[in-house]
A and B are shown apart, each in its own frame.
Chain A
Amino acid sequence: MARRAGTLTALALAFVTLAPVAVVMVQAGGRGLTAPDWAALRFTLLQAALSALASVGCAVPLARALARRRFAGRGALITALGAPFLLPVIVAVLGLLAVFGRAGVVNATLRGLGLPEVSIFGLGGVVLAHVFLNMPLATRMLLQGWQAIPAERLRLAESLGFTPREVWRHLERPMLRAVLPGALLAVFAICLTSFAVVLILGGGPAATTVELAIWQAIRFEFDLPRAATLAVMQVLACGGAVGLAGLVARAPGFGAGLDRLHPLPAPPGWRRGLDAAVLALATLFLAAPLLAVLQRGLPGLLSLPASIWPAAAASALVACLAAPLAVGGALALALGRAQGVRWLEPVAMLPMAGSQLVLGTGLFLIAFPLVTPARLSLPVTVLVTAVMSLPFAYRILAPAAQALVADYGRLAAALDLRGGAALRLLVLPRLRRPLGFALGLCAALAAGDLGVVALFATETGVTLPLAISRLMGAYRMDQAAGAALVLVALAFGLFWIGDRWGRGGTEA
């Protein structure tokens, strides 16, 4: 059906991801690492490690409480834990600033109590934001671990009269030992390449990541060799983390249900109170920043600068171009893989080992001698966001493509159903649901993304996240919050449209 399309896509993807790295490597040659370079690498690894530990550390009690308690709104809470993945990072940062910033609720309370204030800038703030963004992801990963404890074991534990301590020792701890390394590495790898968070909450010699240093080298110092050296460093760090993650990765648990036939034991007494407190705190921590953005942004909506609307249109355009590009590529790779071309899978995961700014730097170096980079701002943003979201689309489509080929591949071959006809009559109708979900997801990610565009855009080609970050840089926080609401509506609206289209297919 799609072996050739898959192979061609893989070659294109490998070229788009590897060519910029190759260009960067050539440019980086002959220049040693300076002290600031090392500092950036140290800070990158430190913040990513702390973020991973804190995110997963907070996720353990939360996932356990969700796994063993049944309460009204539990399903909604689990669904809501998926939302931060779609939430534009800049909006999350804006919300955290509103809660934990100088004028935020937390510091106001501390001042009222005569206690010292906390600063959201620097290492602490970066880690806080990463916990906000990644704890939900870690919680869902761990929750799947809890739900994967076989019912037979739970029945056995019950029949042996296990206390909560023994359930922990014999069931939960071994499960966590298997699941935690994967969760830690996943968050670690994500935080290595985090850009928007560090752009706003980090900075300065003490809190600059490699990703941010690349941006500074290009935007402020125009030191292309330094950017190239940093990019090589970033590739090595990411490649190492993704390689490690691949080694400890477990089979992805798609479609884990919310409920099971044999529920986990729900111990009464103080443990019940503890679980309730954990759930309440987590809900507060995740909801407060969003409510703060809402509260600040609603009045701000009325005073939005006119420049927001072209930026919103640019973001919508980027999303509408990048999502089909990413999903189409992922579909070709997934169908090719399902038909037995094994090497397509590692190629589909290749972008995970890169970063936006590395790809951006490479493309910048390629484009710079030929055209003004600002003119390429939108095309490059489309290309890079599509490439970066392709692995997610691939993971969504791969199981469905596998099932499609297993169930109907032979029948299609027997009837000589192939090419465009197979796409129209078989693939699109049968994969409509995961395709819609993947399209929505990629569109939301592309719309909310603040990465490579910061490298290229000047006055033109500004996307909405970049416009918001500039409003924040000018301390126009109410306008930024208003624009953030527009961005949230755009990202979730695009996701809704895609997902809705996917669900509209006829069920058979």
Chain B
Amino acid sequence: MAGLRLDHLAIVQDDFALRADWSAEPGGRVAVIGPSGAGKSTLLHTIAGFMPPSEGAVLWQGARIDALPPGQRPLSILFQDQNLFPHLTVAQNLGLGLDPTLRRVDWRAVEAVLERVGLSGLGTRRPAQLSGGQQSRAALARALLRQRPLLLLDEPFAALGPALKAEMLDLVDALAGDALVLMVTHDPADARRFARDTVLVAEGVAAPPVPTAALFADPPPALAAYLGGAAF
């Protein structure tokens, strides 16, 4: 009974194809790394339900979730951008995580989560009035409120500086607890900082997760080519 199971999954679109057949356990921290265009985001979006798989299945705790609409899957996803509605306040944006109609929201819970991500008292602001780092924290806070056991990060911190990004990754690790976190990144440093395991996406295959340290110590040819001279 694995947490996430990708069972002979295939995503085919025109001349693009990606296959995956592996599992990841609850509480895991998995980086998804590979050259751009290889299908890292596509993999996450298929798990999240924005793209139907061509073959195979996506399972959570043994149950298929690939027929569910995105919002009803046991997961939260943070996109590269557009994670907050600009016309709603920060608190309203968070409240959507508890109740999409905003009618039965426990606003004290919202305020408590804001405090945990370091945004106390900013609930009445609009996203445009926050810094980039604060916006990322708000989006993360909403994912926390939703309490889904799987968290997908599609490079949501890519626009932040290195120090701020490292800080956010530590925050995710601390707050995600028992949830399984899958994080797309193109930066090996992110993977090594955050993820015990790493999935390499290259040449049409999303390989099963392997321990990050071992992967980078002895990179397979596709990863070596991607890392180029920047290997360590």
Contact = CB atoms under 8 A, between A and B. Distances in A.
B87 A411 contact: no
Contacts of B87: 429-430, 505-506, 508
Contacts of A417: 71, 96, 100
Contacts of A222: none
Interface in B50-93: 50, 69-72, 76-77, 79, 82-83, 85-88, 92
Contacts of B128: 508
A408 B81 CA distance: 10
Interface in A391-435: 407-408, 410-411, 413-418, 420-421, 425-426, 429-430
A187 to B, nearest CB: 39
Q: Which of B69, B77, B100, B102 has the largest count of A CB atoms less than 10 A from its CB?
A: B100
A415 B71 contact: yes
A102 B39 CA distance: 76
A411 B79 contact: yes
A59 B102 CA distance: 52
Interface in A474-508: 505-506, 508
A417 B71 CA distance: 8
B135 to A, nearest CB: 13
B41 to A, nearest CB: 11
Contacts of B102: 421, 425
Contacts of A430: 87
Interface residues of A, number: 19
Nearest to A505: B87
Contact of A407 (B70, B82, B100): B82
B96 A415 contact: yes
Interface string B11-51: 00000000000000000000000000000000000001110
Interface in B102-151: 102, 126-128
Nearest to A506: B87
Given A429-B87, A508-B126, A416 B72 contact: yes
Contact of A413 (B50, B83, B88, B127): B50
Nearest to A422: B100
Label chain A's interface by main secondary structure: helix
A411 B71 contact: no
Q: Which of A414, A417, A505, A508 has the largest count of B CB atoms less than 10 A from its CB?
A: A414
Contacts of A429: 87-88
Contacts of B79: 410-411
Q: Which of A415, A417, A426, A505 has the largest count of B CB atoms less than 10 A from its CB?
A: A415
A414 B77 contact: yes
A416 B50 contact: no
Contacts of B88: 425, 429
A421 B83 contact: no
Contacts of A415: 71, 96-97, 100
B161 to A, nearest CB: 24
A425 B76 CA distance: 20
B82 A413 contact: no
A97 to B, nearest CB: 49
Nearest to A432: B87
A414 B82 contact: no
B94 to A, nearest CB: 11
Contacts of A420: 101
B82 A416 contact: no
B222 to A, nearest CB: 29
B97 A414 contact: no
Contacts of A506: 87
Contacts of B70: 410, 413-414, 416
Interface string A96-134: 000000000000000000000000000000000000000
Contacts of B83: 411
Given A407-B82, A421-B102, A429-B87, A413 B71 contact: yes
A505 to B, nearest CB: 8
Q: Which of B50, B71, B83 has the largest count of A CB atoms less than 10 A from its CB?
A: B71
A425 B84 CA distance: 12
B50 A411 contact: no
Interface of B: 48-50, 69-72, 76-77, 79, 82-83, 85-88, 92, 96-97, 100-102, 126-128
